[in-house]
């Protein structure tokens, strides 16, 4: 099987349906052989962008380049782009072999070539022994492998996956995302997949893009987006985040003053790239918060907030507390150890945040 990874580039892509702007000035470069995720909530434009790449809809402005060539005017059947749909779209009356061979038959390849290529790809996805079965005799995970094999066998330039794991139960999703990642690495095929599941994107993709309301919010690695979100939306969508809205009132050589309504003025160490005076927000992750009962001594290097436990959830590996700090509810996760009980509601606590973990977000 000869697969040659190519780049994919969106240059100022915009698409509207009447007055509804679905994609707005999307600029994106995906490298050859990259496993790339489009992540966002329903209505964000991620599936529209995937279908646009496949050729099922058309942008009004911008360029769509595959391997450096603009394919905007190339019809879907001539793009040689493979797509796996959410429902797999397998022919129920055909065997696994015939489902996988369908695209090769349409291309009028020889019987020997079809037999060789289908055999090779079925072995690749671990389904050689199921060649004569029909889709209804397979599990959900096996059906997904058939759909992947049918797409890969035509040796596409790009592989597109639309919510590939959404129809599987949780345990099988974990198994299949690992298999999907391993298969993509074996093939070295440039792959773009759409998901609304942040865990799925973070554990599978080399890089990902977060979309909201048709606008590309941020592109980067999972760790990059999680640790350094550029705005409130990314901070809240990629993982769980506490966001404190407020105002930077003063910036000096070593510190800044951040006024949070309902909490008061926080004196914080000045970060390398200090925000300007004015409206701003800071974010931090629940697991980065240290909880101490009010009369315990705390690390002086941390930023401390006083509050009361409003609710508590036991989640196995950790306990999640919701702490009322003035007018703000702060979420704090604490690792669970046997023999250590949970703090009861109403407990007066202090929340300690390491200053290096605070992120200043764009307004």
Q: Say if residue 327 is in the same domain as residue 346.
A: yes
23 and 94 fall within a common domain: yes
Q: Are strands 255-260 and 242-251 parallel, antiparallel or unpaired?
A: antiparallel
What is the distance between the alpha carbons of residues 257 and 265, in angstroms, rounded to a whole number?
6
**What pLDDT does 274 receive?**
79
Output the CA torsion sign for 150, 152, 156, 160.
positive
* pLDDT level of residue 298 (50, 70, 90 thresholds): low
How would you classify the pairing of strands 328-335 and 318-325? antiparallel
pLDDT of the residue at 271: 84
Cα–Cα–Cα angle for 241, 290, 210, rounded to 5 degrees: 15
- Residue 304's Cβ-count burial label (10 Å; 0-12, 13-18, 19+) is middle
Residues 8 and 189: their CA atoms lie apart, in Å, by 12
Residues 174 and 258 in one domain: no
| Residue that terminates a domain, selected from 208, 236, 264 | 236
At which of 197, 214, 236 does a domain end? 236
Residue 2, pLDDT score: 62
Query: In terms of domains, do 206 and 301 share one?
Result: no
Q: Is residue 199 part of a domain?
A: yes
Answer yes or no: are the C-beta atoms of 258 and 245 closer than 8 Å. no
Residue 71: pLDDT band with limits 50, 70, 90: very high
> Which pTM was predicted?
0.87
Q: Are 164 and 197 in contact (CB under 8 A)?
A: no
192 and 284 in a common domain: no
Overall size of the chain counted in residues: 363
Whether residues 19 and 160 fall in one domain: yes
Tell me, yes or no, whether 246 and 231 share the same domain: no
Q: Do 160 and 250 fall into the same domain?
A: no
Token pair of 26, please? 């999307």
Residue 42 domain boundaries = 8-236
pLDDT at 329: 94
Domain boundary among 236, 260, 289: 236
Residues 171 and 265 placed together within one structural domain of the fold: no
In a domain, residue 227? The reply is yes
**Which tens digits make up the pLDDT trace of 253-295?**
888 999 999 888 998 888 888 788 999 999 999 999 999 987 7
CATH number at residue 262: 2.40.50.140
**Predicted pLDDT at 351:** 94
Number of compact structural domains in the chain: 2
pLDDT for 62 beyond 60 = yes
Find the CATH number of the domain harbouring 46: 3.40.50.300
Q: For residue 119, is it within any domain? A: yes
Q: What per-residue confidence (pLDDT) applies to 1?
A: 63
């Amino acid at each position: 099987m000869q697969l040659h990874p190519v780049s994919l580039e969106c240059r100022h892509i915009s698409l509207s349906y009447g007055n509804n702007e679905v994609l707005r000035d999307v600029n994106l470069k995906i490298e050859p052989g990259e496993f790339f995720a489009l992540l966002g909530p329903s209505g964000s434009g991620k599936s529209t962008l995937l279908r646009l790449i496949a050729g099922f809809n058309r942008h009004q402005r911008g360029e769509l380049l595959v391997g450096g060539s603009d394919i905007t005017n190339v019809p879907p059947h001539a793009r040689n782009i493979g797509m796996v749909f959410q429902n797999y779209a397998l022919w129920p009356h055909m065997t696994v072999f015939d489902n996988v061979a369908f695209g090769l038959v349409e291309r009028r390849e020889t019987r020997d070539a079809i037999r060789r290529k289908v055999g090779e790809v079925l072995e690749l996805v671990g389904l050689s022994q199921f060649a004569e079965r029909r889709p209804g005799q397979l599990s959900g995970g096996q059906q997904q492998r058939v759909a992947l094999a049918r797409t890969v066998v035509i040796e596409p330039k790009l592989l597109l996956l639309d919510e590939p794991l959404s129809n599987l139960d949780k345990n099988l999703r974990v198994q299949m995302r690992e298999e999907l990642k391993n298969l993509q690495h074996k093939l070295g095929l440039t792959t773009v997949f759409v998901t609304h599941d942040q865990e799925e994107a973070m554990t599978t993709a080399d890089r990902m893009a977060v979309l909201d309301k048709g606008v590309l919010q941020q592109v980067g690695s999972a760790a990059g987006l999680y640790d350094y979100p550029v705005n409130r939306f990314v901070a809240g969508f990629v993982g769980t985040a506490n966001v404190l809205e407020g105002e930077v009132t003063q910036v000096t050589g070593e510190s800044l003053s951040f006024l949070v309504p309902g909490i008061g003025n926080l004196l914080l160490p000045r970060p390398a790239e200090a925000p300007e005076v004015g409206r701003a927000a800071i974010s931090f992750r629940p697991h980065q918060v240290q909880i101490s009962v009010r009369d315990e001594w705390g690390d002086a290097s941390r930023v401390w907030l006083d509050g009361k436990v409003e609710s508590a959830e036991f989640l196995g590996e950790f306990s999640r507390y919701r702490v009322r700090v003035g007018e703000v509810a702060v979420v704090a996760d604490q690792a669970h150890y046997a023999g250590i009980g949970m703090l009861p509601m109403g407990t007066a606590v202090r929340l300690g945040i390491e200053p290096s973990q605070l992120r200043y977000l764009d307004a």
